[in-house]
Chains A and B, each alone.
Chain A
Amino acid sequence: MNCDEARRHWNLYHDSEGDVELHFRIEEHLANCPHCAEWFHKQGRLEDLLVHKLTAPAPHPELWNRVLVASGLVKPAGARRWILFSGLAACAAAVALLVTWSGRSAAVGENDLAELTGRCHERLATGAEPLQFRSDSDLEVEDYLRRQVSFPVRCPPRKDAGFAVSGAGVCRLAEQPAAYLAGHVDVIPVSIFVMPRDSLAAFRNQPDATQGRVTRRRTGSLETVFGVIDRNAVLVVGKADPATLERVLRAYGTYPEHH
Chain B
Amino acid sequence: MRHLGPLEGALEAFVRRALYDPNAVADVLQSAIEAAYRDFQLYVEGTNFRAWIFRFVHLEILNNNRKLERTRLATLPADVATEDVWELALDEPLFRELLDDPDPVLERCDDALAQAVRELSRSERDVLLLRAIGEFKYREIAEILQVPLGTVMSSLARSRTRLRERLVEFGKTSGMLRRETT
Distance, CA A147 to CA B181, complexed state (A) = 54
Question: How many whole Å from B36's CB to the nearest CB in chain A?
Answer: 9
Report if A49 contacts B (CB, 8 A). yes
Question: How many whole Å from A114's CB to the nearest CB in chain B?
Answer: 24
Question: A49 contacts B103, CB within 8 Å?
Answer: yes
Q: Mark B19-47, 1 if CB is under 8 A from A, else 0.
A: 00000011001100110010000000011
Question: A257 contacts B86, CB within 8 Å?
Answer: no
Question: B48 contacts A146, CB within 8 Å?
Answer: yes
Measured as residues with beta carbon below 8 angstroms from the partner, the interface class of chain B is 35 or more
Question: A11 contacts B8, CB within 8 Å?
Answer: no
B26, B49, B99, B164: the one within 8 Å of A63 (CB): B26
A17, A64, A177: the one within 8 Å of B138 (CB): A17
Report if B176 contacts A (CB, 8 A). no
Question: B26 contacts A66, CB within 8 Å?
Answer: yes
Complex interface residues of chain A between 38 and 87 (CB less than 8 A to chain B): 39, 42-43, 45-47, 49-51, 53-56, 58-60, 63-64, 66-68, 70-74
> In the assembled complex, which residues on chain A have CB atoms less than 8 Å from the CB atom of B26?
63, 66-67, 70
> In the assembled complex, which residues on chain B have CB atoms less than 8 Å from the CB atom of A159?
none
> In the assembled complex, which residues on chain B have CB atoms less than 8 Å from the CB atom of A55?
9-10, 13, 132-133
Report if A9 contacts B (CB, 8 A). yes
B46, B102, B110, B160: the one within 8 Å of A147 (CB): B46
Interface size of A in residues (CB-CB distance below 8 Å):
44
Question: B106 contacts A49, CB within 8 Å?
Answer: yes
Question: A50 contacts B132, CB within 8 Å?
Answer: yes
> In the assembled complex, which residues on chain A have CB atoms less than 8 Å from the CB atom of B13?
54-56, 59
Distance, CA A231 to CA B113, complexed state (A) = 21
Question: How many whole Å from B16's CB to the nearest CB in chain A?
Answer: 9
Distance, CA A157 to CA B159, complexed state (A) = 30
> In the assembled complex, which residues on chain B have CB atoms less than 8 Å from the CB atom of A45?
102
Q: A15-B131, A67-B30 are in contact. Are A72 and B37 (CB under 8 A)?
A: yes
> In the assembled complex, which residues on chain A have CB atoms less than 8 Å from the CB atom of B12?
59-60, 63-64
Question: A11 contacts B10, CB within 8 Å?
Answer: no
Distance, CA A46 to CA B46, complexed state (A) = 35
> In the assembled complex, which residues on chain B have CB atoms less than 8 Å from the CB atom of A150?
3, 6-7, 49-50
Enumerate 28 A-B pairs (CB-CB under 8 Å) in ascending A order: A7-B86, A8-B83, A11-B160, A12-B153, A15-B131, A17-B137, A39-B99, A46-B98, A46-B102, A46-B164, A49-B102, A49-B103, A50-B113, A50-B163, A51-B132, A53-B113, A54-B133, A60-B12, A64-B8, A66-B30, A71-B37, A73-B33, A73-B37, A148-B46, A150-B7, A150-B49, A151-B135, A257-B137
